[in-house]
Amino acid sequence: MLRNKALIYVLLLNFLFLSLKWMMSFYESDVTLLTSILINTKDIQYYPLIVSLSEFNFSQTFLEYYSDAKIMPVPLASLAVHSIFFKLFNIYSFIILEYIFHSLLIFILFNIIKKIFNSSNVAALFCVLVYIIILSLKVITNFVEPQIFYKLYAILIENFGTRTPRPLVTSVFYFSFIYYVMFFEDKIKNGPDYTYVLKLAIFLGLLANSFIFLFIHCFVFLLIFLFKSLGEKLIEWVKFNYKFLFYFTLLLIIFLLPILFQNLYSENDFNSRAGVVSIGLEKKLFLIKYYLVNLLRLEFLILFSLTLVLNWFINKNSLQTFNTDKINIFFLLVISSILSPLIFFIFSPKIISIFHFLNIMIFSFIFYIILSLFYILYFSLKKFDIQNYHLKKTPYIVLSVICVFIFFSLELNSFLKNKNQRIEINELNKFFIRNNLQNTNLKLFTNDLLTLNLWLLNGNTQLVISDALTNSLSDSRIEFNLLNTLKDFDIGEKQLKELISFKKSQIRNELFNMLFSYKFQANSLYTYSLIENYNKIDQGLIIKTSPFRVQMQIIPETEKERIINLYKNLKIKVDLLPNYVVLNISNSLENFNIKNNKYKKIFKTENFLIYKRL
């Protein structure tokens, strides 16, 4: 690696990009490190899980009052390293691991491309080109209206970005698997290689325990690749290598055991909040039909046609080289991405967040198209004997300069755009520090995810309500914790009805979405309750909504009525009341008022109110 100047160059470029982001975040001298981390990292929803796992707590409730909770089914493989590093380095771990994992991703991608082209310079150029494409798409989205550019940007950043833990960790597993697959044909034809099989099984196991959709995608791909590589000799190969297959199967089962254990002993309501839905034959047929019909949509047909044309062009005689089989791997990944949802729908008795299958499929198409066009350009230049000048001298350096300029401009724009939010969160953090609200067992009530994380990362341990997918409480307990506090606030029935949009159409109630996540998903495949129990306007929306849109959350009117009746008869438990309250009043609690005089307002910013219970 130290002798590979092109690789070192790309890694240094990646280091520069990450450093620009962090250096800019520290530009304001009074901004705390914790504030910078929360504002500049993505998917902070996972941070409470990282904190819990760092304490080896798999039954987190964030309340000492509850001691009999079941375990949380969480993506262990993608969170394990973050949990260990958090234990060792505290909040510094988020910055350290962003550098480590993203550098690993670039390193693996570089070696995949180098394997195809047998050139470090070409690999470096491709990596820089990926940066250019992502950054250009982000610039375009700031100036043009069509959503297609934003969707392309979102798909690429979903696989090459720094969000924790996906794709920061999961992409390392995914591209590592692809890298080792490149040796697959040689390994199976030259006899059993148990070390190689172990590596494949490990990365499949890591994917299964971090992002199940990528595992299904890669497992289906591996089967397709095996059939393609052996063809008619498959049965004969199986006969002579049954021990080899048994070894692989045994390893895979061992790596899948944590998932089985979590499903058997986890809190059922947690699975519901995560979006797990049971489907019978009728719903399977509906889902399969919907999926197949939507494969005929213009967007898919364009991507599929372009992919087929590029694959045909690459494999025809004028481009036949010893590297073609390597790029064909990515074509098979496209085929796998189309088939894996179908196989999952047919065999699985339950589904969860199936929109991820579509994202994987679109990324497979986009990445193959980018790689194929780059491949064709490379061999076109080679054919005319001019590739030495264009690919071995300075083009990726020139592109890098452009890349750095675009990246700096985008980060500066983001920095200025987030200034008010950064100032407010920083003021909250300084308030916690001034009032010695660090490493306490005091209870906090907040409707804001940033504040929730700020509280926990300051070493505090208790939350009256917490994010739906970071605690192992039953839904009934979560409901009680919320309503118990609201009742102590002296919130009347009228204000509660406004809070839950009683007899009004509402998609994604912010407070309930935080507490119950996907529990109230509503689309043409699944609803939490019978369709007639929903508002008339909502009924129309639900029927028209794609089964892949699990993000649309609608609370049925019968559920709202149940909550109101529960609230009427509720008796307050003092042990579960908050010591401090931090309300984000910029969202659904804009007109929210605490009427109980026991709560004293002690601090205010533009969007936040802080109360202390006397």
pLDDT, position 383: 61
Q: Which amino acid is at 171?
A: S
- The pLDDT tens digits for 9-60 are 899 989 988 888 888 777 665 778 899 899 888 889 999 999 999 999 999 9
Give CA–CA dist 240/437, Å, rounded.
66
Give CA–CA dist 210/481, Å, rounded.
30
**DSSP H or E segment with residue 68:** none
- The pLDDT tens digits for 330-341 are 999 999 999 999
pTM comes to 0.94
Give CA–CA dist 407/461, Å, rounded.
38
* Residue whose entry in the numeric block shows the structure tokens 């098979």: 332
Q: Which amino acid is at 139?
A: V
Beta bridge partners of 601: 611
- The pLDDT tens digits for 554-598 are 999 999 999 999 999 999 999 999 999 999 988 767 678 899 999
**Farthest CA pair distance, the chain:** 83
Q: Which residue has the higher pLDDT, 563 or 420?
A: 563
The residue among 340, 350, 196 whose CA lies nearest residue 272 is 350
pLDDT at 489 over 80: yes
- The pLDDT tens digits for 196-219 are 889 999 999 999 999 999 999 999
Q: pLDDT exceeding 70 applies to what percent of the chain?
A: 93
Tell me how far the alpha carbon of residue 474 is from its chain's centroid.
24
Q: Which residue has the higher pLDDT, 172 or 511?
A: 172
Tokens standing for 141? 């989205």
* Residue whose entry in the numeric block shows the structure tokens 């450093």: 19
pLDDT, position 384: 55
Q: Does residue 128 contact residue 399 with C-beta atoms inside 8 Å?
A: yes
pLDDT, position 394: 57
Tokens standing for 472? 């192992």
Give CA–CA dist 266/269, Å, rounded.
9
pLDDT bin (cut points 50, 70, 90) of residue 387 is very low
Taking CA atoms, 282 is separated from 192, 346, 528, in Å, by: 43, 11, 17
Q: pLDDT exceeding 90 applies to what percent of the chain?
A: 67
**Cis previous bond, 547, omega within 30:** no
Give CA–CA dist 269/247, Å, rounded.
36
- The pLDDT tens digits for 343-382 are 999 999 999 999 999 999 999 999 999 999 999 888 777 6
* Residue whose entry in the numeric block shows the structure tokens 């719903």: 283
**Residue 192: partners with Cβ closer than 8 Å, 6 or more residues away:** 241, 243, 244
Q: Which amino acid is at 281?
A: L
- The pLDDT tens digits for 245-270 are 898 999 999 999 999 999 889 999 99
Q: Which amino acid is at 544?
A: K
pLDDT at 405 over 80: no
**DSSP H or E segment with residue 490:** none
Query: What average pLDDT does the structure give for the chain?
Result: 90
pLDDT, position 243: 84
**Mean pLDDT along residues 512-530:** 94
Handedness of CA 146, 151, 152, 157 (dihedral sign): positive
Q: Does residue 570 contact residue 479 with C-beta atoms inside 8 Å?
A: no
**Cis previous bond, 165, omega within 30:** yes
**Cis previous bond, 167, omega within 30:** yes
**Residue 430: partners with Cβ closer than 8 Å, 6 or more residues away:** 32
DSSP type of residue 172: H
Q: What is the phi/psi pair of residue 613, to 5°? A: -80, 125
Tokens standing for 544? 């028209």
* Residue whose entry in the numeric block shows the structure tokens 């309300």: 583
Tokens standing for 436? 């010695």
**Mean pLDDT along residues 397-405:** 72
- The vertex-279 CA angle with 533 and 59, nearest 5°, equals 85
Give CA–CA dist 165/250, Å, rounded.
27
Q: Which residue has the higher pLDDT, 266 or 1?
A: 266
SS3 291: helix
DSSP type of residue 605: -
Q: Minimum mean pLDDT among 108-112, 230-234, 461-465, 597-601: which range?
A: 230-234
Q: Which residue has the higher pLDDT, 493 or 146?
A: 493
pLDDT, position 360: 97
pLDDT bin (cut points 50, 70, 90) of residue 317 is low
What is the C-alpha end-to-end distance of the chain, expressed in Å?
A: 62
pLDDT, position 1: 52
Torsion over CA of 103, 104, 110 and 116, rounded to 10 degrees? -170
Tokens standing for 568? 């009427």
**Mean pLDDT along residues 500-527:** 92
Which parts of 118-161 fold into alpha helices (H)? 120-141, 147-160
pLDDT, position 390: 45
- The pLDDT tens digits for 147-191 are 888 899 999 999 999 999 999 999 999 999 999 999 888 877 776
Q: Does residue 179 contact residue 112 with C-beta atoms inside 8 Å?
A: yes
- The vertex-446 CA angle with 445 and 452, nearest 5°, equals 105
- The pLDDT tens digits for 64-85 are 999 888 999 999 999 999 999 9
The residue among 129, 117, 128, 541 whose CA lies nearest residue 323 is 117
pLDDT, position 389: 42
Which parts of 241-351 fold into alpha helices (H)? 242-265, 268-274, 281-294, 298-315, 324-347
Tokens standing for 228? 């393609």
pLDDT at 543 over 60: yes
Tell me how far the alpha carbon of residue 437 is from its chain's centroid.
31
